[in-house]
C-alpha cells in the first residue's frame, strides 16, 4: 500500500534535511511518496530539497497558502491510499509507519490517526488532545495510554488520513489561516461522518517547535490564534455551548493580563464578526446543524462585546518594552502618543459621520408617515451604511504610519475603526440571550 507523506514547507531550511532523512530512514518496508509543498519560502528550503532529496516531489507555490492550503495542494496531488501530514520540524521515529497502518487496519471506524510526540527535550508533548469548554482552547494530553484509543482530536504535526476520509469530507478549511485549529476542525468534521480519530501508541516522533515567528510579531500571532479559535467555536460548538462561550469569553477578555493577548482578541473578534455569515454557511456544509436567527444575532452581538471588553482591557495594560527574544519594540510613551492621535482622528470621523446622518434624516423626515415606511427605512439604512463605509475609507486613506515597527499600531487602528459598524448594534447581549431562551423553550414544548 502506497503512503503519501505531505509536508507543508515554509522557511524550513534549518530543519528540513533532518525531517526528510528520518522519513526515508524509518520507512521500513512501506512504499513511500513524499510531497513537499513550498509555501513561497524566502530561504533556501526549495533549493535544499532539489539538491539533497531529488526523489521528493516539490510543489512550489507563488504565495503562502498556510498550513491547510499547503496540505490541500499536497493531498490533491497524492497517489497513496493513506496520506500522512507532517510538520517540517517533526522527526519520525523507527516503526512510525508500522504503527499508523496497524491502527488503521485494526480500527474499522478509524478515519484519522495521530502519534505520541515528544518535545525537543524528550518530554511527552502530545498523546491525543481535546477542546476545552466553554472557551474552546486546545489542550494536549501528556500521559500515554497503554493501547490505541479514540480521542477528541490529534495534532497536525503528525496526522494520518485514509484517502477514503479525504474523499468523504474533502480538504481542510483554508480559512484557518495561516494555522491553528485546522486539524481539530478536520477531526470534528470526520466524526460527524462516522469516522473516528485515534491515537496510535506505536507511532512516535519528536516535534522540535522550531518556528520563532511569533516572537517577532506577537500581536499578529495572538490574533491568528484567537481568530482560528473563534472560527472553530462558531462552526463546531452546540447551541448551548455557544451561549456559554459568549458569556465566558467576555469575562475572560475583561480580565486578560497580557497586552498582546488583549489586542489579539480585539482584532480577532472584529474580523470574525464581519465573516459570521460565511462561517454559519460553512458550519452547515461541514455537517453541523444550522443556527436559529436569535443565536446568530447573539454571536454577532457577542463578538462586539468581546471586542469592547478586550479593547478596554488593553487600555489598562502596559505595552511590553521588549519582545520575548529581546528585540526592541516601540517605547510605551511613543505608543501612547500614537494611540492618542488615532483616537482623535476616529472621534473626528464619528462627528463627521453623525453630521452626515443628521442631514439624511432631514431628507427622509417627510416620508416617515408614508405607508411604505419599511422600504424607506431600508433605503435610509443603506444610505447610512454607504456613508459610513465611504467615511471609513477616506479615514484609512489619510492615515500613514512611517515607522516599519508600527504595523501593530496600524492593526490596532483598524480594530478601532470597526466601532463604526459595531455602533449599529441596538439590542443588548442580554436581550438576545432572553430571546434565545424563549426560542429554545418553545422548541422543547413542541
- Rounded to the nearest 5°, which phi and psi values hold at 13? -55, -35
Residue 444 lies in a domain: no
Is the omega angle on the peptide bond into residue 178 within 30 degrees of 0, that is, cis?
yes
- Tell whether 207 and 220 lie within a shared domain: no
Residue 162 lies in a domain: yes
- Tell whether 383 and 271 lie within a shared domain: yes
CA atoms within 13 A on the CB side of 188: 23
Q: Which of 222, 155, 205, 223 lies closest to 15 in space, CA to CA?
A: 205
Q: What is the pLDDT of residue 368?
A: 43
CA–CA gap between residue 335 and residue 330 (Å, rounded): 6
Q: What is the pLDDT of residue 345?
A: 55
Number of independent structural domains in the chain: 2
Instruction: Name the domain boundary from 161, 190, 211.
Output: 211
CA–CA gap between residue 23 and residue 217 (Å, rounded): 32
- Tell whether 203 and 221 lie within a shared domain: no
- Tell whether 200 and 80 lie within a shared domain: yes
- Tell whether 201 and 292 lie within a shared domain: no
Q: What is the pLDDT of residue 24?
A: 96
Strand-pair category, 2-9 with 110-118:
unpaired
Q: What is the pLDDT of residue 312?
A: 86
Q: What is the pLDDT of residue 380?
A: 47
Residue 357 lies in a domain: yes
Domain that holds residue 189: 2-211
CA–CA gap between residue 443 and residue 373 (Å, rounded): 33
- Tell whether 258 and 402 lie within a shared domain: yes
Residue 441 lies in a domain: no
CA–CA gap between residue 301 and residue 314 (Å, rounded): 20
Instruction: Name the domain boundary from 190, 211, 232.
Output: 211
Find where cell 472560527 sits. Answer: 231
Q: What is the pLDDT of residue 401?
A: 34
- Tell whether 294 and 415 lie within a shared domain: yes
Instruction: Name the domain boundary from 211, 227, 260.
Output: 211
CATH of the domain at 54: 3.90.550.10
Q: What is the pLDDT of residue 315?
A: 80
- Tell whether 143 and 224 lie within a shared domain: no
Phi/psi zone of residue 356: left (φ > 0), alpha (ψ -120 to 50 degrees), beta? alpha
Give the DSSP H/E element, type plus range, for residue 145: none
Strand-pair category, 82-86 with 2-9:
parallel
Which of 100-104's residues contact partners 24+ apart within 8 Å by CB, and which partners? 100/160, 100/200, 100/203, 101/1, 101/3, 101/30, 102/200, 102/202, 103/148, 103/198, 103/200, 103/202, 103/203, 104/160, 104/162
Residue 344 lies in a domain: yes
Q: What is the pLDDT of residue 8?
A: 96
Residue 445 lies in a domain: no
CA–CA gap between residue 433 and residue 239 (Å, rounded): 11
Q: What is the pLDDT of residue 213?
A: 60
Measure Cα distances from 77 to 72, 73, 114, 187, 405 in Å.
9, 6, 22, 21, 39
- Tell whether 54 and 156 lie within a shared domain: yes
Instruction: Output Rg (C-alpha) for the chain, integer angstroms.
Output: 25
Q: What is the pLDDT of residue 274?
A: 87
- Tell whether 396 and 258 lie within a shared domain: yes
Residue 424 lies in a domain: yes
Q: What is the pLDDT of residue 349?
A: 53
The answer to whether the CB of 356 falls within 8 A of the CB of 391 is yes
- Tell whether 206 and 220 lie within a shared domain: no
- The tens place of each residue's pLDDT in the chain, 446 residues long, gives 899 999 999 999 999 999 999 999 999 889 999 999 999 999 999 999 999 999 999 999 988 899 999 999 999 999 999 999 999 999 999 999 999 999 999 999 999 999 999 998 999 999 999 999 999 999 999 999 999 999 999 999 999 999 999 999 999 999 998 889 999 999 999 999 999 999 999 999 999 986 656 556 777 888 899 999 999 999 999 999 999 999 999 999 999 998 889 888 988 998 899 899 999 999 999 999 999 988 998 898 899 889 889 988 888 886 554 444 443 344 445 545 555 555 565 556 556 655 655 555 555 444 444 455 455 444 444 444 444 444 444 434 333 333 333 444 444 444 444 433 444 333 344 554 555 556 556 555 65
- Tell whether 394 and 298 lie within a shared domain: yes
Residue 271 lies in a domain: yes
Amino acid at each position: 500500500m502506497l503512503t503519501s507523506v505531505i509536508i507543508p514547507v515554509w522557511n524550513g531550511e534549518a530543519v528540513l534535511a533532518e525531517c526528510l532523512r528520518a522519513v526515508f530512514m524509518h520507512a521500513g518496508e512501506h512504499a513511500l511518496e513524499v510531497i513537499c509543498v513550498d509555501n513561497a519560502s524566502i530561504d533556501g528550503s526549495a533549493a535544499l530539497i532539489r539538491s539533497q532529496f531529488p526523489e521528493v516531489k516539490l510543489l512550489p507555490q507563488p504565495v503562502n497558502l498556510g498550513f491547510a492550503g499547503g496540505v490541500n495542494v499536497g493531498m490533491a496531488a497524492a497517489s497513496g491510499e493513506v496520506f500522512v501530514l507532517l510538520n517540517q520540524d517533526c522527526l519520525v521515529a523507527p516503526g512510525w509507519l508500522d504503527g499508523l497502518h496497524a491502527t488503521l487496519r485494526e480500527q474499522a471506524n478509524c478515519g484519522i490517526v495521530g502519534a505520541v510526540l515528544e518535545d525537543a527535550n524528550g518530554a511527552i508533548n502530545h498523546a491525543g488532545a481535546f477542546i476545552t469548554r466553554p472557551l474552546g482552547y486546545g489542550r494536549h494530553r501528556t500521559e500515554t495510554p497503554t493501547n490505541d484509543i479514540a480521542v477528541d482530536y490529534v495534532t497536525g504535526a503528525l496526522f494520518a488520513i485514509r484517502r477514503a476520509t479525504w474523499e468523504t469530507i474533502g480538504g481542510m478549511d483554508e480559512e484557518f489561516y495561516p494555522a491553528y485549529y485546522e486539524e481539530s476542525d478536520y477531526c470534528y468534521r470526520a466524526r460527524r461522518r462516522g469516522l473516528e480519530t485515534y491515537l496510535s501508541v506505536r507511532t512516535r516522533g519528536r516535534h522540535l517547535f522550531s518556528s520563532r515567528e511569533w516572537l517577532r510579531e506577537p500581536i499578529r500571532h495572538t490574533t491568528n490564534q484567537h481568530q482560528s479559535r473563534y472560527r472553530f467555536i462558531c462552526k463546531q460548538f452546540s447551541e448551548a455551548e455557544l451561549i456559554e462561550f459568549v458569556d465566558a469569553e467576555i469575562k475572560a477578555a475583561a480580565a486578560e493580563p497580557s497586552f498582546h493577548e488583549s489586542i489579539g482578541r480585539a482584532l480577532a473578534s472584529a474580523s470574525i464578526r464581519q465573516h459570521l455569515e460565511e462561517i454559519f454557511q460553512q458550519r452547515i456544509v461541514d455537517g453541523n446543524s444550522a443556527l436559529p436567527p436569535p443565536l446568530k444575532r447573539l454571536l454577532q452581538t457577542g463578538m462586539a462585546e468581546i471586542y469592547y471588553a478586550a479593547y478596554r482591557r488593553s487600555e489598562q495594560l502596559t505595552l511590553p518594552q521588549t519582545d520575548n527574544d529581546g528585540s526592541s519594540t516601540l517605547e510605551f510613551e511613543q505608543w501612547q502618543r500614537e494611540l492618542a492621535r488615532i483616537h482623535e482622528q476616529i472621534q473626528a470621523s464619528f462627528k463627521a459621520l453623525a453630521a452626515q446622518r443628521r442631514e439624511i434624516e432631514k431628507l427622509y423626515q417627510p416620508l416617515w408617515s408614508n405607508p411604505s415606511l419599511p422600504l424607506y427605512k431600508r433605503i435610509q439604512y443603506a444610505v447610512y451604511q454607504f456613508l459610513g463605509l465611504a467615511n471609513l475609507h477616506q479615514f484609512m486613506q489619510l492615515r500613514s504610519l512611517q515607522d516599519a515597527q508600527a504595523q501593530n499600531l496600524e492593526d490596532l487602528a483598524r480594530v478601532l475603526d470597526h466601532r463604526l459598524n459595531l455602533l449599529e448594534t441596538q439590542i443588548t447581549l442580554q436581550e438576545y440571550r432572553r430571546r434565545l431562551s424563549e426560542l429554545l423553550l418553545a422548541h422543547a414544548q413542541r
